[in-house]
Chain A
Amino acid sequence: MSLIVTLIFLSSGLFLGWSMGANDASNAFRTAVATRMIRFSTAAFLCSAFVIIGAVTSGAGAAEGLGQLGAINTLPGAFTAALAAALTVAWMSKLGLPASTSQAVVGSIIGWNLFSGSPTDLGTLGRIAATWVVSPVLGAIFAMLLYKLLVEWIRLTRPHLLSLDRNTRTGLILAGVFGSYAIGANGIGNVMGFFVEASPFRDLSLGRFSVSSVEQLFLIGGIAVAVGVYTYSRRVMMTVGDSLMTLSPLGAFVVVVSHSLVLFIFSSTALESLLAGWGLPTIPLLPVSGSQAVIGSVLGIGLLQGLKGVRQIRWGVLGGIASGWITTPLIAAVMGFVLLFVVQNVFGQEVFRAVHP
């Protein structure tokens, strides 16, 4: 297959990556930039660099989990499924409805499974659906614990207002870097997971270093995310009016760290081996929605402040977001099914290869 054809087929994944860079990746640095604690150029550089590092070094774990849901085995099929997910996210964003990339991806894979007659691994689907509940809950728990600890520490040490701000700024940078790494490690599965089974690349060996085809795929996906960060995320970062709750810089720091921790535990193979080594149950490596983790973390901080915090939460916004969690996979599944039909019957492409047991 020529390079141009390969790139055409990968373009939908790159579009999805760009869209993730523009929307989801901004979670790591949004408040820091919006409150002018960090310059956009600094945030964009750090975010892009660490998304790529995270994607290449740790992206395999979560992507493998997604592969268990449905192994799309042809490049045109992967292209169409990724396109369906990207269009769903873009369309819902255009309508002003919040959409999660990972949910759109799950929906479009199920659409492919239905179209190709492949069985959907209900166990994996159940685990993924469970993360949609677990990740916001975990985010809330992490945020509550972290926020409480930090507040107690500040009350104890009483730092000068300027020192506190300087430390918060440093914390936001470090948390943003960690968040970007976690987004790269966990989110790349959403962007390039479609193409893992049908990767057009071959393993490369450069002396002592070897780069697998999947790592090459993730590198390209990471670059697409980075382009999204540089070209469009500024606008998203500066839009804070529709946020769930107004946060202080300290609250923002806690939200970024909690969100990053949630993404990290669902994508870290090292943590999985560690837990397995201790004989503890492991956490499934799956791509989870960063936005859900952020929402859970914000709610956690709000609930921690009691009735005052509960009143500050914009419940209407939350209702809109929650409804998007149900409609996004459904729309992506339907769109995936329709697009696969069009690509197969109008463009004559092989969107799936029948696998005989």
Chain B
Amino acid sequence: MSQYIEWDALGNIVLWGLIVGAGLPTLFALGVRAVEGPGARDEEGHIPTFRKILGGLCFGIAALAVVGAIAYIAAGGH
């Protein structure tokens, strides 16, 4: 079978796929939880600064990943 399947490449795709493809949505979900999760807003409906920063960090990393992916496509690395 090994002549038909490139196991190395496949293993890398699965590993990095899980890290990036499942990790980024999870990070995004943590960001959502930070700014809109239970207890995120005080009585007046404001979101505390540390939660905003935490959420911004999560969304920021996700946005950076998108920019990085565009750069990667543009660089012809696909």
The finding on whether chains A and B are genuine partners in a shared complex, rather than unrelated, reads: no
Chain B interface (Cβ within 8 Å of chain A)? none
Chain A interface (Cβ within 8 Å of chain B)? none
